[in-house]
Structure 1
Amino acid sequence: MLDLHEMLQTGIHFGHKTSRWCPKMRPYIWGSKNKIHLIDIAKTAALLEKIGNITKEVTSKGGVFLFVGTKKAAQPIIQRVATNVKMPFVINRWVGGTLSNFDQVKKAITRLLHLRDVVTKSAGYYKKKEIVMLQKEIERLEKNVGGIIDLSFPPAALIVVDVKKERAAVKEASALGIPVIAMVDTNTDPEGVSHIIPSNDDSPKAIEFVLNYIEGRIKEGQKLHAENKALEAKQPTVAKETFKEDVRGDRFAPRREAPARRFHSPRPPHKKSEE
């Protein structure tokens, strides 16, 4: 169970001004104070626990999540959490077509891996100016696709911080039928989000609390997945026996062996008697 008092300390229940709210978020708003909407923290806790169970179940079957959050408050937190659970992430810029045109994005990933090898292994064959140009290209590619090098397409779901800022990513995922788990504030339209976490998406403490909880549930699922794979590896493989039907129709009767052929030496040619 989540500690509601701890959640209140993170400021997860603070929304935006009442004049900038989205009516679709009405079910998750508890009230307002000083013209600021307050989110119903009990509903946030219930939905977060439900999402935690989903992430645990998906990762126990080997599923992979894609973390998305390009706002400054979320960048270091997402990078740390995604790195800890060994999952792909996007923290600098969402490249258009990352999901809908993944084949082209994969070419950029291949280019990045190639340039890494060139700089590390073949640096002596290039001039200083050429190496500087290669390093600049590597830095640009690292910002765009560095976090999704190990992305196995399609991901099981997207985990998004601030749907309003990451609208392009949500649209692509919705068009492809990929579920979206997202932190949604009171001023955001939750359309396209499969699993809503009503919360303050501007506070670093609130973002860290939500992602730390999801990280813990993902690790539980990964542990179960590793245990299941270990059990499967220990199980002995039983050789399948094949039976051939006998001429009489008895399936399990031993097969009759054909008698060995007898080969006779050829007779010498007949010689005519000389008269």
Structure 2
Amino acid sequence: MEQQEQYKEVTIKTLLESGAHFGHQRHRWNPKMKRFIFEERNGIYIIDLSKTLQQIRNAIQVVMNTVSKRKSILFVGTKKQAKSLIRECATQCGEFYVCERWLGGTLTNLTTIRQSIKKLERIEKKIALNADDLTKKELSLLTKEQIKLDRNFSGIRSMRKPPGLLIVVDPSREHIAVAEAKKLGVPVMALVDTNCNPDPIDYIIACNDDALKSIKLILEALTHAILQRKQELKLTTAKEDLEEEDSSKEEQEGAK
């Protein structure tokens, strides 16, 4: 994803084009989502996109503020429609992600998770240094273990403390991740469909969380905001370093 070239601004029009307004069928709704519903059409709830747009604008400010505080962000989405986008967007903006399976304790028992990641690192090192000395069976077993561990932990390998924000696609599916975040006081932002309970979510984005285009549009907007703020911070830091260097030179010249 060439973020700067392909980034599509979120508007009512682009939300409509992505199908973000289509909720679930009437019999599958959660009444707590009523305030985000515009109308019912042919047995399907239609989400109020004017509210969604405002929620996205608010979400953009939240992610930018999180980056400004030098806190990390963890993207979570394991459903088929979301997993590749979760990995792609998080990687693009240099943040953490879980897109295969949420392992219980990923946040609340991070010490144990870190032990599994260290095991992965040991296996990788063993394969890299001793591949020629291993039997085919030994190498096969180690490789299988490596693939399994890498699939589960590749997106959080360098995460040594809980993130500053969780971004979730489908909080009903990722309810364990949401519960762990709430337990630790980590704020949760989520793409919430009409069948979800919005109560545990701090920053709600009411939308179709099943349509690939809808998920892509919103995640890319958040990714773009993260990258933008990181670039601004980088420029600010560079300017401060330059000013400090100039000040130091002036002091040295004055001392001569």
> Considering the TM-score relative to the shorter chain, is it more than 0.5?
yes
CA deviation string 1:58-102 (max 9, x = no partner): 213322100000000001111111111111110110000000000
1 or 2, which has the higher helix percentage? 2
Alignment match, 2:209: 201
Structure 1, unaligned stretches of length 5 or more?
239-275
Q: Measure how far apart 1:154 and its partner are.
A: 1.7
Q: Which amino acid aligns with 1:153?
A: K
Alignment match, 2:152: 144
Contact 1:60 1:223 in 2 (8 A): no
Contact 2:114 2:160 in 1 (8 A): no
Q: Which amino acid aligns with 1:67?
A: F
Q: Measure how far apart 1:199 and its partner are.
A: 0.3
1:21 to 14, 29, 52: 29
**Cα distance between partner residues in 1 of 2:194 and 2:166:** 20
**Cα distance between partner residues in 2 of 1:211 and 1:152:** 24
**Cα distance between partner residues in 2 of 1:2 and 1:12:** 11
1:171 to 169, 179, 183: 179
For 1:24, what is the secondary structure of its paired residue? helix
1:155-170 matched pairs, under 5 angstroms: 155-170=163-178
Residues 1:7 and 2:15 aligned together: yes
Residues 1:121 and 2:121 aligned together: no
Q: Measure how far apart 1:4 and its partner are.
A: 1.0
**Which of structures 1 and 2 has the bigger CA Rg?**
1
Alignment match, 1:225: 233
Contact 2:110 2:160 in 1 (8 A): no
**Cα distance between partner residues in 1 of 2:167 and 2:175:** 13
Alignment match, 1:43: 51
1:172-191 matched pairs, under 5 angstroms: 172-191=180-199
**Cα distance between partner residues in 2 of 1:4 and 1:20:** 25
For 2:230, what is the secondary structure of its paired residue? helix
Q: Which moved more, 1:115-124 or 1:98-107?
A: 115-124
Q: Would you say how many aligned residue pairs link Structure 1 and Structure 2?
A: 238
**Cα distance between partner residues in 2 of 1:151 and 1:109:** 10
Alignment match, 1:246: none
Q: Which amino acid aligns with 1:156?
A: G
**Cα distance between partner residues in 1 of 2:89 and 2:120:** 23
Q: Which moved more, 1:145-154 or 1:191-200?
A: 145-154
Alignment match, 1:216: 224
**Cα distance between partner residues in 2 of 1:146 and 1:217:** 24
Structure 2, unaligned stretches of length 5 or more?
1-8, 249-256
Contact 1:61 1:225 in 2 (8 A): no
For 2:23, what is the secondary structure of its paired residue? strand
Q: Measure how far apart 1:194 and its partner are.
A: 0.6
**Cα distance between partner residues in 1 of 2:81 and 2:193:** 15
Coordinate RMSD, CA, aligned: 1.3
Q: Measure how far apart 1:11 and its partner are.
A: 0.3
**Which has the bigger relative contact order, CA under 8 A and spacing at least 6?**
2
CA deviation string 1:18-70 (max 9, x = no partner): 12211111110001100100000000000101110111122133221000000
2:39 to 5, 18, 31: 31
Residues 1:99 and 2:107 aligned together: yes
**Cα distance between partner residues in 1 of 2:110 and 2:158:** 13
- Distance verdict in 2 for CA 1:73–1:2, change over 3 Å: closer
**Cα distance between partner residues in 2 of 1:175 and 1:57:** 22
